[in-house]
Amino acid sequence: MGRMKSVLGVLLALLLLVAGAGIAAGAVPPKAVIDLSHGQTVDLIGFKSVLTTMGWQFDETTSLAAGVPSDCDLLVLPQPLSEFTDAEVAAVRAWVETQGGGLLVLYDSGAPTPYLNKLPAAFGVTFNAGVVQEYDFGISWWVDSAMISIPAELQSHPLFTNVTDFVYVSGTSLNVSGSPQVVLRAGEYTQCTSGVYQYGVEQPPVLVADQVTAGRVVLLGDTTPFELSLDSLTSGNVQLMANIVSWLQKPEAPPVPTTKKVTINIRPWSKDNKIDLQSKGFIRVAVLSTPEFDAKQVDPKTVLFAGAKPLCWVRMDVDRDRDKDLLLLFHIPDLNLTEDSTEAVLDGKTLDGQSFEGRDAVQVVQHKKCKNPPKHDNCGGKKGK
C-alpha cells in the first residue's frame, strides 16, 4: 500500500508540474488568498500542495473588511462559520466583476447554510446542508461519498480537462438560479438532512462555474478533498483542483498601449508657425515619414490636430526626401488652442491600430485686419502659407 501511494504521489507531482509549466521564468507568481476571517477551521492541505506544485504563492487573511488584497489573483472562501457583511459581499462581487478576480467558494455538508449563503447568493447560488452520497455505497473512502462522472457535454470545458470522474466526499448540493456557464450534477445519490436519509433523489447540482463580467467564479459543495494530502486523493480530484486554479486565475492586466512618437511640421514651407486664432482660414500640418515611422500607415480618419478633425488630406513628399508624407488641412476656428498655447499636438492611429503622437511649437498671434479669407482651400495648394 505504501508503494502504491509513493507511485501515485510521483504521478500526481508530474501531472501538476505540467499544469504549472505555463508560468514564465522570472515572472511574478500568481497568488491565492485563503479567507480565515469567518471562523474557518479547515486546513486546505491538498489544495495548498496543488498551488505550490503549480508555482503559485498563497496567503491567509484574517480580515476582508478592507476588501480583497490588491495582489490577489484567486480568492478562496472555505466554509465560513460567521456571516459575511453586506460590505464584504459587495467588495468581493466588485472585485470579481471589475478586477477580473477568480473566486472559489467551498462548502460542505451539515454546516449552518445562512452563514455562507449570503455571499454565494450574490452569484445566483445557495448551498444545502444535506449529504450527497453514492446510492449503492460503492465508494471505499467514506460512507458519505459519491463518484461524480463528467457528462459528455462538459468534457470539453477547461475545468474538466483529463478528468472523467472524481470522488465527492461528505459534500452537499447546490441550488442554482439563472443560467451559469457550467452546472455539474451528480447521479443517483442519498441526501441526509437532519439525520434522515432520503434515497433515490437524482441529479443534484454539485459544482457551478460562471463568467461574471471580467472575472470567474467556481462554487463547489465539498471541502474534504481540498483538506486531504495528495497521496490520499484520486488523480481525478487532483486534476480537478489544478484545472479550477488555472481557470480561475486572474488574467494579467493588458499591457498599457504605447504611443509612437512621430515628427510633424506645422505650416510646412513657412518660416514660422504663427497661428491667428481669430482667422477663419485654414492651416496645413504634415506628418513626416522617417526611418522610424512610415506616414503611409497613418489612418487620416483618426487624426486630430489640437482637437480638430482634418477637412482633407493628401499623401505627398512634403520635405523633399523622396518619401511620401501625409499633409492634412484643418479649419483654424476648430482648433482648441488659446492665446497662451506654445505647442500643438497631433495624434491618431495607424491602419493597424498603433497610436501615435506628434508635437510642434506654435506662436499664437493677434488678429490683423486683412482681406476676406478664402471660402475654401485644397490640400495640394501652392507651396506657401
C-alpha cell recorded at residue 339: 492665446
Identify the pLDDT of residue 11: 44
Average pLDDT over residues 88-114: 88
Residue 228 belongs to a domain with what CATH number?
3.40.50.880
What is the reported pTM? 0.64
| 372 in a structural domain | no
Mean pLDDT, all residues of the chain: 85
Residue 321 pLDDT greater than 70, yes or no: yes
* Burial of 291: CB neighbours in 10 Å, binned 0-12, 13-18, 19+: exposed
42 and 135 in a common domain: yes
298 and 230 in a common domain: no
190 and 281 in a common domain: no
162 and 100 in a common domain: yes
Alpha helices (H) in the chain, listed in sequence order: 2-19, 45-53, 86-99, 114-117, 224-227, 235-248
Identify the pLDDT of residue 170: 83
Confidence of residue 1 (pLDDT cuts 50, 70, 90): very low
Q: What is the pLDDT of residues 117-159, one digit of tens each?
A: 899 999 999 998 788 887 665 555 555 788 899 999 999 999 9
Residue 89 backbone dihedrals phi, psi, to 5 degrees:
-60, -45
Place of cell 466526499: 169
| 342 in a structural domain | yes
What single-letter DSSP state applies at residue 48?
Answer: H
Residue (of 254, 250, 251) closest to 73 by Cα position: 250
Q: Residue 98, SS3?
A: helix
236 and 175 in a common domain: yes
| 384 in a structural domain | no
Residue 107 pLDDT greater than 60, yes or no: yes
Measured in whole angstroms, the distance separating CA 313 from the mean position of its chain's CA atoms is 40
Strands 31-35 and 74-78: parallel
Which residue would you say has higher pLDDT here, 83 or 215?
Answer: 215
| 385 in a structural domain | no
178 and 69 in a common domain: yes
122 and 32 in a common domain: yes
Task: Tell me the sheet residues that pair with 211.
Answer: 216
Task: Tell me the sheet residues that pair with 126.
Answer: 175
Which run of H or E residues covers position 357? strand 355-361
Q: What Å distances lie between residue 272 and 258, 269, 366, 384, CA to CA?
A: 31, 9, 15, 11
Which residue would you say has higher pLDDT here, 137 or 20?
Answer: 137
281 and 235 in a common domain: no
C-alpha cell recorded at residue 329: 488641412
Q: What is the pLDDT of residues 179-208, one digit of tens each?
A: 999 999 998 777 776 566 666 666 889 999
d(CA 290, CA 63): 56
Question: Which residues are CB-contacts of 182 (< 8 A; sequence separation ≥ 6)?
Answer: 154, 157, 159, 207, 208, 209, 210
18 and 148 in a common domain: yes
Longest dimension (CA), the chain: 102
Place of cell 496645413: 284
Identify the pLDDT of residue 381: 46
354 and 306 in a common domain: yes
The tally of domains found in the chain comes to 2
| 278 in a structural domain | yes
Domain C-terminal end among 248, 278, 311 = 248
d(CA 205, CA 186): 6
The mean-pLDDT minimum among 165-174, 212-221, 251-260, 300-309 falls in: 251-260
d(CA 16, CA 20): 6
Identify the pLDDT of residue 131: 85
Q: What Å distances lie between residue 246 and 16, 53, 154, 361, CA to CA?
A: 11, 12, 17, 52
Identify the pLDDT of residue 134: 76
Confidence of residue 20 (pLDDT cuts 50, 70, 90): very low
Residue 27 pLDDT greater than 80, yes or no: no
Strands 282-288 and 325-331: antiparallel
Residue (of 338, 343, 340, 341) closest to 285 by Cα position: 343
Domain C-terminal end among 226, 248, 270 = 248
Residue 305 belongs to a domain with what CATH number?
2.60.40
Identify the pLDDT of residue 19: 47
Q: What is the pLDDT of residues 341-360, one digit of tens each?
A: 999 999 999 999 999 999 99
- Measured at the CA of 169, the angle between CA 96 and CA 68, to 5 degrees, comes to 20
Q: What is the pLDDT of residues 221-272, one digit of tens each?
A: 999 899 999 888 899 999 999 999 999 998 776 676 789 999 999 999 998 9
Q: What single string gives the DSSP state of each residue in 297-354?
A: GB-GGG-EETTBPPSEEEEE-SSSSSS-EEEEEEEGGG----TT--EEEEEEEBTTS-
Which run of H or E residues covers position 186? none
Q: Residue 39, SS3?
A: coil
Identify the pLDDT of residue 188: 77
User: What is the phi-psi region of residue 270: left when phi exceeds 0, alpha when psi lies from -120 to 50, beta otherwise?
Assistant: beta
Confidence of residue 368 (pLDDT cuts 50, 70, 90): low
156 and 288 in a common domain: no
Identify the pLDDT of residue 319: 94
d(CA 177, CA 200): 23
| 17 in a structural domain | yes
| CA torsion angle 147 152 157 158 (round to 10) | 50
Domain that holds residue 31: 2-248
Identify the pLDDT of residue 254: 67
228 and 174 in a common domain: yes
